[in-house]
Chain A
Amino acid sequence: MKPAAFDYARAATIPEAVAAMRDGARPLAGGQSLGPMLNLRLARPGKLVDIKRAEGMRGVALSASTARLGAALTHAEIEDRRVEDVTRGLLPHVARGIAYRAVRNRGTLGGSLCHADPAADWVTTMTGLGATMIAQGPAGERAIAAENFMLGAFTNALAEDEMLAAVEIPRLSPAARWGYAKINRKTGEFAMAIGLVILDGPWARVVAGAVEAPPALLPRAAAALLAGETSDLDAELAERLPHLSPADRKLRAVSLRRAIAMLSEAR
């Protein structure tokens, strides 16, 4: 079980990477999602271009309202808080639950987002945070809202010659609270259900993740949380996730209730 042959190049800069992609190369960052697919020969790219060493791909930039994280930062670097956390501990918590430490040491934030596995953690987290994806292509930079970035299973909004360069994450206030509950059969496995709830002053978001499609925002549940009321979560899930069986929807409801219960935990 070895990959089909491919060519490999390393891009020193983002424009160099984009040029290689225009020439048909596919981007490689940590390779922790792409690697297994290549080993199974499910993916057979003719050429890979390493983008993780390109200048600026591991940068961190902070403003009063956001943190801009380079797409090639690893999950482990976020887990260890080597990257300043602006989300009151949400990002390090999520990072620690991704696969296994050996995978987190190589796998990248951007790679996971672009791979767009519905059951992966960052797509749900970034949707919940209302983050912005910074794409780089031949025409320069383009900002894409996280909600619009994942189009479907394994499909993102990037053009063939565009790559994800960074993610801008809005700063949560000191009063913000969150809950993140993932249901797996085994630690580190892809999730069977993810529930994410973020409550920050007048702003709330409730997201059902790992729904075999892009994560689903639940605005009624969010409004109810803000009003301090209980909402009919099951009804909203049935409306938003008609493609799931009742048992599969139940799993998402359980993960969301666990996430809501986490809001009252002290952090």
Chain B
Amino acid sequence: MISAPLAVTLTVNGQRRQLLAEPRTQLADLLREQLNLTGTHLGCEQGVCGACTVLIDGVPQRSCISYAVDCDGAEITTIEGFDADPTMATLRQNFSAHHALQCGFCTPGMLVTARDIVLRLGEVPEARVREELSGNICRCTGYVGIVGAVCATARGCTPQESAAPIAAAALAAPAVAAPVENAAPRAAQPLKGGNSLTETIAIAAPPEQVWEAMGDLPALAACLPGAEITEVDGEAIKGRMKVALGPIKVAFAGTGTVRLDAATRSGVLRGAGRDGGTGSSAEGELGFALAPSATGTPGGTDVAITLQWRLTGALAQFGRSGLVADLVRRLAQQFAANLQARLAGEAPPAQPAPLNLFQLLWAALRARFGR
């Protein structure tokens, strides 16, 4: 899929420029590739390292996570645009005097940030300078020289007047939100370390009936939001699992095995799959065992569920394991509610569609042929 370039007007280092950029082009790439302003460096491309920091409309911003088209109409100042700036001239001298750079990769971003510190805050204690510089990473100097150079430049300076307050209107009637339902603390069980969790679900039906329902694997899978079993061949199963974690949407397709033990009314499902989109892999094991209810409805069933999973690839790099645990816990709770509804003879749960294939194809086709 290629999105057509859009027109964008920027004033770069005082010069008005009319350019074309694909929507996905970051400001940093446009500056470097189209305007040859290679003083703006790209390090992490996640907004953490600070090497790409430039001024957008007079304030430092990350050019690696700011789209060029989203900056339309803005004034951009890159490290190449400070030749006549007196604060930057002093900073350059002090960076040199304090040995505040070695390889120089972080220096453009450091200088843009340092200039903002000096002008916005004036002379402040060294600790504050370090705090303000924490968004710019240097792997050579150990920061001592950089902090020294910034402090030397800021000595005797007073803070610049900040921009005007944002005018406030009168609010006639404050909004009233629906009363807070005091949700009972969820009955989650402690994590067994790493990426596993156990959850016990009480179901108001006798174990025999629950066991019978759980034997129908495709129907059982339909109770787990996003899951679908497409093939059952003896112990081997094939299926898909779609998961949405905020803006991240993954669809794992994979194979697995299922073992059911009627004597103990327990079973184990093992599966592994891959999501081509994010290049992530997941493998997991779902164990469950039924027992007459100890705490729930008399004559009901306790379903003890153990989930273990392992993620690799981009998704694992991004996701802190606790966040995935929260997602899995919510899935387990929805699974329990849907299974309960199924046993009570209610309509099968509606399948949420976190990833609508048709919509994706349509978007891709429209993008290709729409213009």
Known: A102-B60, A213-B326. A243 touches B116 (CB 8 A): no
- Interfacial residues of chain B within 128-154, with CB under 8 A of chain A in the complex: 130-132, 134-136
Q: Flag if B53 contacts A102 (CB, 8 Å).
A: yes
CA distance A32 to B64 in the complex (A): 10
Q: Flag if B47 contacts A47 (CB, 8 Å).
A: no
B246 at the interface (CB under 8 A from A): yes
CA distance A132 to B175 in the complex (A): 7
Known: A46-B367, A84-B168. A5 touches B175 (CB 8 A): no
Nearest-CB residue, chain B, relative to A169: B174
CA distance A135 to B85 in the complex (A): 44
**What residues of B have a CB within 8 angstroms of the CB of A5 in the complex?**
1-3, 22-24, 367
Interface size on A, residues (CB 8 A): 85
Q: Flag if B247 contacts A24 (CB, 8 Å).
A: no
**What residues of A have a CB within 8 angstroms of the CB of B189 in the complex?**
242
Q: Which listed segment binds A: B75-83, B225-233, B255-263, B317-325?
A: B317-325
A106 at the interface (CB under 8 A from B): yes
Residue in contact with B323 in the complex, picked from A68, A118, A141, CB distance below 8 Å: A118
Chain B min CB distance to A37 (Å): 6
Chain A min CB distance to B329 (Å): 7
**What residues of A have a CB within 8 angstroms of the CB of B190 in the complex?**
242-243, 245
Known: A47-B363, A242-B188. A73 touches B169 (CB 8 A): no
Residue in contact with B65 in the complex, picked from A4, A32, A46, A119, CB distance below 8 Å: A32
Chain B min CB distance to A85 (Å): 10
Nearest-CB residue, chain B, relative to A31: B65
Interface size on B, residues (CB 8 A): 85
Q: Flag if A102 contacts B315 (CB, 8 Å).
A: no
Residue in contact with A105 in the complex, picked from B61, B72, B327, B360, CB distance below 8 Å: B61
**What residues of A have a CB within 8 angstroms of the CB of B113 in the complex?**
101-102
CA distance A239 to B187 in the complex (A): 10
- Interfacial residues of chain A within 63-91, with CB under 8 A of chain B in the complex: 63, 65-68, 73, 76-77, 80-84
Chain B min CB distance to A69 (Å): 9
B157 at the interface (CB under 8 A from A): no
Q: Which listed segment binds A: B178-186, B209-217, B234-242?
A: B178-186
Chain B min CB distance to A45 (Å): 7
Nearest-CB residue, chain B, relative to A246: B190
A36 at the interface (CB under 8 A from B): yes
Q: Flag if A82 contacts B166 (CB, 8 Å).
A: yes
Q: Flag if A42 contacts B166 (CB, 8 Å).
A: no
CA distance A42 to B301 in the complex (A): 40
- Interfacial residues of chain B within 245-283, with CB under 8 A of chain A in the complex: 245-249, 277-278
Residue in contact with A65 in the complex, picked from B26, B69, B174, B318, CB distance below 8 Å: B174
B197 at the interface (CB under 8 A from A): yes
Known: A62-B168, A144-B177. A212 touches B320 (CB 8 A): yes
The interface bits of chain A over 235-251 (1 if a CB of B lies within 8 angstroms of the residue's CB, else 0) are: 00001101111000000
Chain B min CB distance to A120 (Å): 12
Q: Flag if A26 contacts B247 (CB, 8 Å).
A: yes
Q: Flag if A84 contacts B165 (CB, 8 Å).
A: yes
- Interfacial residues of chain B within 28-74, with CB under 8 A of chain A in the complex: 29, 45-47, 50, 53, 56, 59-62, 64-67, 69-70, 72
Most buried by B among A42, A65, A132: A42
Q: Flag if A100 contacts B23 (CB, 8 Å).
A: no
CA distance A99 to B360 in the complex (A): 33
The interface bits of chain B over 292-331 (1 if a CB of A lies within 8 angstroms of the residue's CB, else 0) are: 0000000000000000000000110110101101110110
User: What 5 pairs across the A-B complex have the smallest Cβ distances?
Assistant: A100-B135, A154-B246, A35-B65, A212-B322, A46-B363
Contacts A2-B29, A61-B171, A188-B135 aside, 6 further interface pairs with beta carbons under 8 A come to A35-B62, A82-B162, A100-B50, A132-B175, A148-B180, A243-B329
**Contacts A/B (CB < 8 Å), 20 sampled:** A5-B23, A7-B3, A32-B65, A34-B247, A39-B26, A39-B46, A46-B360, A46-B367, A80-B163, A100-B135, A106-B61, A119-B320, A132-B177, A152-B326, A152-B327, A153-B246, A213-B329, A243-B191, A244-B191, A245-B190
